[in-house]
């Protein structure tokens, strides 16, 4: 079978990581995989086993530069390029990532099965441009053969906001690379590094990830645990802003920017807690990978994958909640100033949840075991079995 994966590029995001893993899996299964990539100026971060095909397609930005009709016309022109490529490479199944390529995938249908992947909670994101408008998505997405979402929240979002029929929706999460070590070895490793008090956060340094709140909350953690360290793994345009917050709270010796990292194992080995603070998450691959290493998770509640993975909700209540697989705190509010200011109640609760794990060995051990257990639900074999059923249906 010839499979095409359509996406802007192979940068360091979760969607790109999912595309790499899916493609590598299918190559190992004997399929021919092609990556139809755009020209979005994104430096590649991931190596793939499939064949890379550069389409030359460029991003369509902004409400002002393109009217609805001009945007649609540009999509049609780019779709003709993709249709020719699908025919040239005799594509049987086309799976798209990101909205522009989702719409192009639908418009470029040849003899292929068209599967549109939705990697986030679309209605919760502040994207600009007609390609992200509900009008465009309602017009095009129901024409796909399958619209793949990552969570129940994602499926509900596509039905209620964008009118995608339930019959076309399939919930398939990303799979995670589970730790290669045994559970006993991981448990011993966690206890060995428990007193290192290392907290990690993984994600692009962008507004939606809300690392500004985490840094402010961490200032309270440090007051009670002076040797605590926070490592931010990821890169992005907000790093200068986040560095100013670090300086305003005098946390330069406690908060570290590690940049984009391909080998997570050294960080997973020593981490005591992982924290997720996103405004919304389609499906946080990094959370599952951390849990596979037995790392306890603290997350602020948000629509999408976070509360589904942790199997809980606080539903706006001002409290910390122990869920089946981690700890949830109330949703964080708007972006904060980089100046030293009084912390919000949600930030204080986030700090308290981190502190609890770092000081309560019994809770730490219980959450280690829960993390390992939950990660197995997203192992490669089970997830790719769902993909096989969709592709071969």
pLDDT in tens, 31-87: 999 999 999 888 888 999 999 999 999 998 654 455 777 788 889 999 999 999 999
The overall average pLDDT reported for the chain is 91
Query: Widest CA span of the chain, in angstroms?
Result: 63
Q: How confident is the model at residue 360 (pLDDT cuts 50, 70, 90)?
A: very high
pLDDT given for residue 62 in this prediction: 53
What class is the 183-377 domain? alpha beta
How many CB atoms sit inside 10 A of residue 122's CB? 21
pLDDT given for residue 66 in this prediction: 57
pLDDT given for residue 63 in this prediction: 47
Do the domains 183-377 and 2-171 match in fold?
A: yes
pLDDT given for residue 335 in this prediction: 67
CB 56 within 8 A of CB 73: no
d(CA 55, CA 58): 9
pLDDT given for residue 136 in this prediction: 87
Please give the distance of CA 293 from its chain centroid, rounded to a whole number: 18
Look at the block and give the residue holding tokens 């979760």: 14
d(CA 300, CA 253): 25
Instruction: With a cut of 80, say whether residue 178 has pLDDT above it.
Output: no
Please give the angle made by the CA atoms of 105, 14 and 379, to the nearest 5 degrees: 100
d(CA 366, CA 326): 9
Q: Where are the domains positioned within the chain?
A: 2-171, 183-377
Helix or strand or coil: residue 303? coil
d(CA 92, CA 187): 44
Consecutive H or E run containing 121:
none
Instruction: With a cut of 70, say whether residue 387 has pLDDT above it.
Output: yes
**pLDDT tens track for 207-241:** 989 999 999 999 999 999 999 999 999 999 999 99
- End-to-end, the C-alpha distance of the chain in Å comes to 14
d(CA 55, CA 311): 40
pLDDT given for residue 179 in this prediction: 64
pLDDT given for residue 356 in this prediction: 96
Architecture of the domain spanning 2-171:
3-Layer(aba) Sandwich (3.40)
Question: What is the average per-residue pLDDT within 294-308?
Answer: 92
How many CB atoms sit inside 10 A of residue 392's CB? 9
Q: How confident is the model at residue 181 (pLDDT cuts 50, 70, 90)?
A: low
Instruction: With a cut of 70, say whether residue 134 has pLDDT above it.
Output: yes
């Amino acid at each position: 079978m010839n499979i095409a994966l359509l996406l802007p590029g192979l940068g360091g995001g979760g969607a790109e990581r999912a595309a790499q893993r899916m493609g590598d899996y299918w190559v190992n299964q004997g399929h021919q995989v092609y990556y139809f990539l755009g020209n979005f100026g994104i430096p590649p971060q991931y190596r793939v086993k499939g064949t890379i095909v550069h389409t030359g397609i460029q991003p369509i930005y902004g409400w002002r530069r393109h009217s609805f009709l001009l945007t649609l016309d540009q999509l049609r022109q780019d779709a003709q390029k993709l249709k020719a490529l699908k025919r040239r490479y005799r594509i049987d199944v086309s799976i798209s990532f990101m909205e522009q390529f989702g719409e192009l995938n639908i418009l470029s249908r040849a003899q292929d099965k068209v599967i549109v992947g939705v990697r986030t909670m679309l209605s919760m994101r502040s994207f600009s441009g007609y390609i992200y408008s509900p009008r465009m998505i309602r017009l095009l997405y129901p024409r796909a053969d399958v619209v793949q979402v990552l969570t129940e929240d994602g499926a509900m979002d596509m039905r209620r906001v964008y009118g995608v029929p339930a019959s076309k929706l399939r919930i398939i999460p990303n799979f995670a690379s589970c730790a290669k070590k045994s559970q006993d070895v991981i448990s011993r490793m966690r206890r060995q590094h428990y007193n290192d008090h290392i907290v990690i956060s993984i994600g692009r340094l962008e507004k939606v990830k809300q690392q500004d709140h985490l840094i402010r909350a961490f200032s309270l953690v440090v007051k009670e645990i002076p040797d605590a360290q926070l490592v931010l793994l990821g890169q992005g345009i907000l790093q200068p802003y986040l560095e100013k917050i670090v300086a305003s709270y005098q946390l330069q010796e406690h908060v570290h920017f590690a940049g984009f990292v391909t080998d997570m194992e050294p960080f997973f080995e020593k981490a005591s807690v992982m924290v997720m603070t996103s405004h919304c998450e389609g499906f946080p691959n990094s959370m599952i990978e951390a849990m596979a290493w037995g790392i306890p998770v603290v997350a602020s509640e948000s629509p999408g994958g976070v509360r589904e993975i942790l199997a809980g909700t606080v539903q706006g209540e001002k409290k910390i909640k122990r869920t089946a697989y981690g700890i949830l705190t109330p949703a964080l509010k708007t972006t904060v100033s980089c100046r030293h200011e009084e912390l919000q109640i949600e930030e204080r609760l986030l700090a308290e949840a981190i502190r609890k794990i770092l000081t309560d060995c019994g809770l730490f051990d219980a959450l280690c075991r829960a993390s390992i257990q939950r990660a197995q639900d997203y192992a490669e074999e089970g997830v790719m079995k769902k993909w096989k059923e969709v592709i071969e249906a």
